[in-house]
Amino acid sequence: MASIPLSHILFVSTALFFIGMYGLFTRRNMITMLMSIELILNSVNINFVAFNKYLYPEKLDGIFFTIFIITIAAAEAAVAIAIIINLYRSHKSIDVEDATELKW
């Protein structure tokens, strides 16, 4: 990693973030939207690890932030999938546009 500037890693993570955001905007399958959120979280993780490595290579704070983000993402995926299963049971569909009961 001696010859790669920090900005190249940041470009990769930025591109991943906005690919995930585009997916969150355009897909209507709830599970695919959840996968886009996982993409966004992973791009943030790359940022944390890269800044930790390039700015403070003797510390571990960025790596711990990433570990806690991974744990929280696991908990979030479990709860979100429980909600999606419940919605599928009552609506017979996982299209996000079909869940309109809470809409004004």
Is 14 near other proteins (CB under 8 A)?
yes
Map the footprint of other proteins across residues 18-77, applying CB under 8 A: 18-23, 25-29, 31-32, 34-36, 38-39, 42, 45-46, 49-50, 52-55, 57-58, 60, 63-64, 66-68, 70-77
Cβ closest to other proteins, residue 26 vs residue 101: 26
91 binds other proteins (CB under 8 A): no
Q: How far is the C-alpha of 20 from the C-alpha of 9, rounded, in Å?
A: 17
With 0-12 CB in 10 A as exposed, 13-18 as middle and 19+ as buried, what is 77?
Answer: middle
Q: What is the DSSP letter of 5?
A: -
